Structure 1
Amino acid sequence: MAGVRLIRSPELAQTVEYAYAAVADVPVRAIWAAGACPLDAGGKTVAVGDIAGQTHQVMRNLVTALESAGATLTDVAKTTVYVASSRQADLVAAWRVYREYMGDHDVPSTLLGVAVLGYPDQLVEVEAVALITGQV
């Protein structure tokens, strides 16, 4: 896992789909990814009205951004998942797709509903912090 260790506390609920903390020993190369948006290469919002479809595009874009910085999803230490909705079912729909991409690397994450996101028809955004140990 490129040096990111996920921490699970036995004193906290074990039913959650994420670790409670992540640790990376120094030296470390840190990467802060801007919020990945559901945009195609031409800058248009994809899958209008489709939370799952937008989340797939968001995660593909996040993977590309991380790769451009020399990282992968397994280097991620923390994410925030934004869904433009007040419906918990919509948040869960985005989370399910997000979890498909993250697999067993269940990093600390915050999932929240927001009133609006920046691009026309945008429903989902994911930002991430990645850490690569042994590099400065």
Structure 2
Amino acid sequence: MAVEFMHPDGLLQQSDYAPVAVGTGSRLMLLAGQAGVTPDFKPAAPDLAGQVHAALRNIIIGVRGAGGDVGDLARLTFYIVDWVPEKWDEVLAGIARAQQAEGLPAPTPPITIIGVQALFTPDFVVEIEATAVLD
């Protein structure tokens, strides 16, 4: 694993994600935003939790395709349509599914959530970008 997660003293000590990731690998991987879609560009689920899980699965497929694995993920940026804090539980449910089914680390890499008006099509409610550090 090329990434180490940290919770430095003085930062919020939440348990859902690590606020700091330190990469020690030699290659930086930037993955384009992944929606919660199937390979034929159809929404994988009608709800936010299901699309979060599917988008994270697509990210893991991309990282593995580049020769890395889930432990190499250093950062995740979520773009969520009509974001309000009340949607956090749905996001956590999708993350938990990806942790159980896909091996996403717990806690996750650092996360940023950005609320957006819309994504590529009205059926998409989340898109996630990822940064990974590969050995």
Q: CA deviation at 1:79?
A: 0.8
Matched, 1:62 2:59: yes
Q: Is the 8 A contact 2:28 2:131 kept in 1?
A: yes
Structure 2: 5+ residue stretches without partners: none
**Counterpart for residue 23 of structure 2:** 24
3-state SS in 2 of match to 1:104 = coil
Q: Which amino acid aligns with 2:105?
A: G
Q: CA deviation at 1:99?
A: 4.4
Structure-2 separation of matches of 1:37 and 1:116? 12
Identical-residue share of aligned pairs (%): 28
Structure-2 separation of matches of 1:11 and 1:113? 27
**Counterpart for residue 71 of structure 2:** 74
Structure-2 separation of matches of 1:62 and 1:38? 10
- Equivalence map 1:34-53=2 (5 Å): 34-48=32-46, 50-53=47-50
Return the TM-score normalized by structure 1.
0.83
Aligned residues: 130
Structure-1 separation of matches of 2:115 and 2:89? 10
Return the TM-score normalized by structure 2.
0.83
- Relative distance call for 1:118 and 1:111 in structure 2 (3 A) is same
Matched, 1:93 2:95: no
Structure 1: 5+ residue stretches without partners: none
